[in-house]
């Protein structure tokens, strides 16, 4: 029974860590100054990425896909500058 409780606690901590990672990235650029999402997708594709999805989260562009090394990524970009804001660590 102890092992089951320990496993449950570990899984809850892991899930909470993933959830908090999403909330820690925030962009405050005025929407009128944002570049189009498609422009970011084209730039990343030209750099060798395989982009699955680009969406808006906390005022940032959130990109799901694979970088130019084939690593699965979830990365946040500033919608005005396309500067990388942060990355959600992917499970191994």
Span 14-69, pLDDT tens digits:
433 443 445 689 999 999 999 999 999 999 999 999 999 999 999 999 999 999 99
Q: Report the alpha-carbon distance of residue 47 to residue 25 in Å, rounded.
A: 23
Of 56, 59, 68, 63, residue with least CA distance to 88: 63
Query: 2-87 domain in CATH 3.30.465?
Result: no
Phi, psi of 83 (to 5 degrees): -70, 140
d(CA 49, CA 10): 33
Per-residue confidence band for 90, with pLDDT thresholds at 50, 70 and 90: confident
pLDDT of residue 15: 39
The confidence band for 5, taking pLDDT boundaries of 50, 70 and 90, is: very low
Length of the chain: 92
pTM above 0.85, yes or no: no
Q: What integer pLDDT is reported at residue 42 of this predicted model?
A: 98
């Amino acid at each position: 029974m102890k092992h089951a409780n320990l496993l449950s606690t570990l899984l809850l901590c892991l899930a909470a860590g993933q959830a908090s990672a999403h909330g820690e990235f925030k962009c405050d650029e005025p929407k009128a100054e944002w570049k189009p999402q498609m422009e970011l997708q084209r730039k990343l594709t030209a750099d060798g990425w395989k982009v699955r999805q680009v969406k808006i989260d906390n005022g940032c562009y959130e990109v799901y896909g694979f970088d130019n090394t084939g690593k699965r990524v979830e990365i946040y970009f500033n919608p005005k500058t396309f500067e990388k804001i942060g990355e959600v660590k992917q499970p191994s």
